[in-house]
Chains A and B, each alone.
Chain A
Amino acid sequence: MIHADTEKLIFEQGRAGRVGVDVEGVCSLELDSALPEELRRGSLAGFPEVSEPEMVRHYTRLSQRNVGIDDTFYPLGSCTMKYNPCMNEAVAGMKGFAWLHPAMSQTETQHAFRILWELEQMLKEICGMDAFTLNPVAGAHGELTGLKVIRAAIRARGEKRDKVLIPTSAHGTNPASAMLAGFTPVNIEVNPDGSVNLEALEKVLDENVAAMMITNPSTLGLFETNIKKIADMLHAKGAFLYCDGANLNALVGITRPGDMGFDVIQTNTHKTFSTPHGGGGPGAGPVGVKSELVPFLPCPRIEKFDKEEYGKDLFVPVYGKQSIGRIHSYYGNFLVLLRAYVYLRTMGSRGLREVAEAAVLNANYLRVSLRDVGYRVAFDRPCMHECLLTDENMPKGVVTMDIAKRLIDKGFHPMTVYFPLTVHDAMLIEPTETETKETLDSYIQAMKEIMEEAKVTPELLHDAPHITPVQRVDDVEANRPKNLNLRWKG
């Protein structure tokens, strides 16, 4: 990131008559026959008129006011900002993938169906599930899909259950997805360490419970050691156990959600399987389920038929009768899934195991090192892929936000802050497996400096960041109804 001055909005740049991509005009008589004037709009008022170099500079400058994992360490907890291999991008750009139209005849897109099918097989194996749908395009979309599948299964049993249990430490999309799926979310208090309180669970668990959603490892970076017990309790009452797979990176190749008793899991390719997050998507949120739920997965699903007469496997999109229906225009985010496929082909079983091992090793190294430079660790025992700090014993009124913003000055992206809500002013740090010890050490050094600054020059932290194109943004003021500005108006 460079210290750039304000970049004007594109609508305030350029000059009348300038064009980027030149497109030939048409004969107005012909246009009138093609599309009568009364159906046509006036000119595109407000649209910019800029040259190609102006356009390129605008977006290049904007990019320089942004930070990605390609720039620096980006340890957002529960977001798994691992390195995104360049080969993923090279493959996604290939014409034979990018220019496939979903309405092409299926005999000509067999390779795409094969990739989707093979990806499903790999995900099944990694998660210990019986089938996957690849159609959901984001984690929350996967949550909604998984819950709808549960709902359909309950209906098929002839039952009526409308409660979904959600621990208070869960990501906010869990209750929002439950609502959207027509359930009533019920919050369950967790133990101080984020684990499920079995007594509390026992109390609310009845024949009205459809499912419980658990993030494992939790958003506090700890493994739910009672998971099998919880699964048994739910299953005994006929309820399903849902796994929010946001933190799957800690488990790959070590243990499988399916073996723990989870009936459904949504994965996030943009977390665990190295696909880029793009400033907030596109992602992909494949959902895996156990056998009872398979018939209800969204359609289409890709099935493989071994047909002698074709001389090779045939892959066909199928539309199951009991399916919850379509949840996306086509097959989901194919080019994102393709990147995940490429990633998995480079990893293999041992590679994935090493991912989890290095991710957990890195997180624990940070946990101990940051503790040793004076930060309060929420749980002083081995964590999984992320470690959790609080600002409880920071000197001179320094709070989590100050630390986060000061990290930007030191060249790092902040950690996840103020989440989970169950810990006071949380700082959730997930280094991932792709960071070197040198990077971790320089981050620890920065955190050490910040701790020193907190004692000596706390105003430096309260006012941070200092070197960014803009300083602390007043989002409360920006969100007041009278100020709300969601578009340029000229």
Chain B
Amino acid sequence: MLEKIGVKSVDELFGQIPESLRLKQPLNLPAPLPEMEVMALMEKFAKEGEIAASKTSFLGGGINRHYLPATISALISRGEFLTAYTPYQPEASQGTLQALYEFQTYIAMLSGMDVANASLYDGATATAEAVLMARRLNKKGNTVYVSRALHPHYRQVLPTYLNDIGVVISELPFDAKTGKTVYDVEQMKDALAVVVGYPNYFGVIEDLKAAREVATKVGALLISVTTEALSLAILKPPGEFGVDIFVGEGQSFGLPPSFGGPLLGLIATKDANVRNLPGRTIVRGKDKNEKTAFCISIVTREQHKWREKATSNICTNEALCATIAGMYLTAYGKTGLANLAKQNAVKAFRLREKLAKIPGVSFPFSGNTFNEFVMRTEHSAEYILEKMSAIYDIFGGIALSTHYPLHSADILVSVTEMNTDEDMDKFVHALRRILK
């Protein structure tokens, strides 16, 4: 090869790099290991994690535990999906393209919106992108009103995205009794958008009808955020309430908790707003023989052509996760998914009923919930959770105190189809003992 190229050594090919910039000594990196040893090392690490991963868990809060049908890992490990690049050459990428088009359809149907895109990074950045999109659509206001009951991490990502471009963020309080967002229309000046969880971080199903009325009154776009996508299979879809932009976290659809990533950002909107959707969308068109074919759509919007005028800087998204979500929704199908969502709701209700019988346990929020609810005891949440984990091998939930200091005794409990009746009895038993 060197002869063909006409050089004496590989080193010569690096001649463009000034000598002074070349490394004079090897990098200080761990010595390379053969596959068998790396696998042994990683298995050792993984073993540490298995202890935690095997505990009875009621953790949710935006990262949801759902059973993964065996078909998914079998299909998604196919190299044709896994090792493909972004589908820039449609003739060689019809598989990815059709899978993403089907995903867009699924998300549009679930959210009750007209159109969805082919994924964003995660629910938090999708929320920020939705506000940026609202800003392109609504030139009147510059203040985004964000519910304090929205996932705290999502609320933290918003200023990171918005501060540098001058959007003002104002928080809307929640009602201490219902757990639902309260709106003071008089105070909501200069409104650009209203952002509200559905269900919110406390698991409470917000009143989107009321949110819609408020948003209309103050001249804002309404953005609803769903962190537990499975709830869409049972709750009235956001589209029915006239939400302008739906965003969500789609991790529930076939992705394990993954220590918080990769996730799957969802976004959908009305037909009229489609040209302002951030990220990539897939379109169904035709090839030159009039045969159905899919390709990346609205290319004019993408950075390749428009550079600084593009609607977003997103290029790589979460395509494989979107493909997985499509597989998951297909595997469960029309009745399976509805039944799964029902089961989640009923199981959460059952645990709540059982906990209600324990003296000292209460539920601060009266609003209806799907598969997550907030529980209160007379002790600090940290104390309860630590005991549960250390003595009973249970992850009992998430303490609200980190983000809501006034709620130091409150625990966010998530119940999914993966929690058996025995799990729930174990939880109840543990809590009884701790509270004694």
Does B315 reach chain A (CB closer than 8 Å)?
yes
Q: Shortest Cβ distance from A155 into chain B, in angstroms? A: 9
- Asked whether, in the complex, the Cβ of A148 is within 8 Å of the Cβ of B82, the reply is no
Determine how close the nearest CB of chain B comes to the CB of A23; give it in whole angstroms: 4
CB-CB nearest in chain A for B52: A108
CB of B15 within 8 Å of the partner chain: yes
B249 x A329 contact (CB < 8 A): yes
- Dominant secondary structure of chain B at its interface with chain A: helix
Q: In the assembled complex, which residues on chain A have CB atoms less than 8 Å from the CB atom of B287?
A: 470-474
> In the complex, what distance in Å separates the CA atom of A21 from the CA atom of B340?
10
Q: Which residues of A sit under 8 angstroms from B124, Cβ to Cβ?
A: 326, 328-329
Instruction: Tell whether, in the assembled complex, residue B398 and residue A103 are in contact, meaning their CB atoms are under 8 Å apart.
Output: yes
**Given that A98-B256, A254-B14 are known contacts, is A468 also in contact with B92, CB under 8 Å in the complex?**
yes
Q: A109-B259, A254-B17, A277-B84 are in contact. Are A62 and B98 (CB under 8 A)?
A: yes
Q: Which B residue sits closest to A38, measured CB to CB?
A: B236
Chain A, 11-41, CB within 8 A of any chain B CB: 11, 14, 18-27, 30-31, 33-36, 39-41
Contact present for A74 and B6 (CB under 8 Å): no
- The B-contacting residues of A in range 323-337, CB under 8 angstroms, are 324-336
Stretch with Cβ within 8 A of A (4 or more), from B139-147, B213-221, B302-310: B302-310
B298-318, CB under 8 A of A: which get 1 and which 0?
Answer: 111011111110101111111
Looking at the complex, which one of B10, B20, B240 makes contact with A357 (CB distance below 8 Å)? B10
Evaluate contact between A326 and B160: CB separation under 8 angstroms: yes
- Given A110-B48, A334-B258, A486-B104, is A369 in contact with B4 using a C-beta cutoff of 8 Å? yes
Q: Given A115-B45, A148-B164, A330-B261, A99–B256 Cβ distance below 8 Å?
A: yes
| Choice from A55, A65, A298, A329 contacting B330 with Cβ under 8 Å | A55
Residues of chain B within 8 A (CB-CB) of A144 are 313
**Which residues of B have CB within 8 Å of A66?**
80-81, 84, 92-96
With A48-B330, A84-B82, A87-B39 in contact, is A487–B105 under 8 Å at CB?
A: yes
Question: Once A and B bind, how many residue pairs between them come within 8 Å at the CB atom?
Answer: 628
Q: Which chain B residues lie closer than 8 Å to A484 at the CB level?
A: 274, 283, 297-298
Per the bound structure, the CA–CA distance linking A114 and B121 in Å amounts to: 24
Q: Does B259 contact A478, Cβ atoms closer than 8 Å? A: no
On whether the beta carbons of B1 and A365 are closer than 8 Å, the reply is: yes
Alpha-carbon distance A68/B85, docked complex (angstroms): 7
Please name all residues of chain B whose beta carbon is closer than 8 Å to the beta carbon of A100 when the two chains form the complex.
49, 52-53, 257-259
B319 at the binding interface (Cβ < 8 Å): yes
Contact A34 B286 (CB under 8 A): no
6 closest residue pairs by CB, A with B: A330-B260, A478-B285, A70-B79, A96-B49, A278-B320, A66-B95
Q: Which residues of A contact B65 (CB under 8 A)?
A: 101
Bound together, the chains give a CA A178 to CA B312 distance in angstroms of 11
Say whether B85 contacts A141, CB under 8 Å. Answer: no
Give the distance to chain B from A32, nearest Cβ to Cβ, in Å.
10
A446 interface residue, CB < 8 Å from B?
no
Chain B residues positioned under 8 Å from A486 (CB to CB):
101, 104, 108, 115-116, 274, 281-284, 297
Of A235-243, A344-352, A390-398, A448-456, the stretch lying at the interface with chain B is A344-352
Q: Which chain A residues (206-224) contact chain B, with CB distance < 8 Å?
A: 222-223
User: Do A253 and B23 have beta carbons less than 8 Å apart?
Assistant: yes
Assess whether B46 is in contact with A45, with CB atoms less than 8 Å apart: no
Contact partners of A6 in chain B: CB under 8 A: 291-292
Q: How many residues of B contact A (CB 8 A)?
A: 193
The answer to whether the Cβ of B359 comes within 8 Å of any Cβ in the partner chain is no
A68-B79, A89-B82, A478-B284 known; A329+B90 contact, CB < 8 A: no
**Which residues of A (462-485) have their CB < 8 Å from a CB of B?**
465, 468-475, 477-479, 483-485
Which of B110, B115, B346 counts the most chain A CB atoms within 10 A? B346
Query: Once the chains are docked, how many angstroms separate the CA of A331 from the CA of B257?
Result: 12
A and B contact pairs by CB, cutoff 8 A, 28 listed: A20-B71, A23-B335, A44-B334, A58-B330, A68-B82, A69-B79, A70-B82, A99-B49, A100-B52, A101-B259, A109-B52, A110-B48, A111-B48, A141-B314, A151-B164, A175-B307, A255-B23, A259-B21, A260-B21, A280-B317, A280-B319, A324-B160, A326-B160, A360-B10, A364-B5, A474-B287, A475-B90, A475-B285
Q: For the complex, give the distance between the alpha carbons of A182 and B162 in Å.
A: 9
Q: Are B281 and A344 in touch, CB under 8 angstroms?
A: no
Query: Which residues 88-133 in B have Cβ within 8 Å of A in the complex?
Result: 88-96, 98-102, 104-106, 108-110, 112, 114-116, 118-119, 121-125, 132
| Given contact pairs A1-B80, A23-B336, A173-B315, a sample of 7 additional A-B residue pairs in the complex whose CB atoms are under 8 Å apart | A25-B342, A33-B349, A100-B53, A137-B122, A259-B23, A268-B316, A326-B157
Q: Which residues of B contact A437 (CB under 8 A)?
A: 1
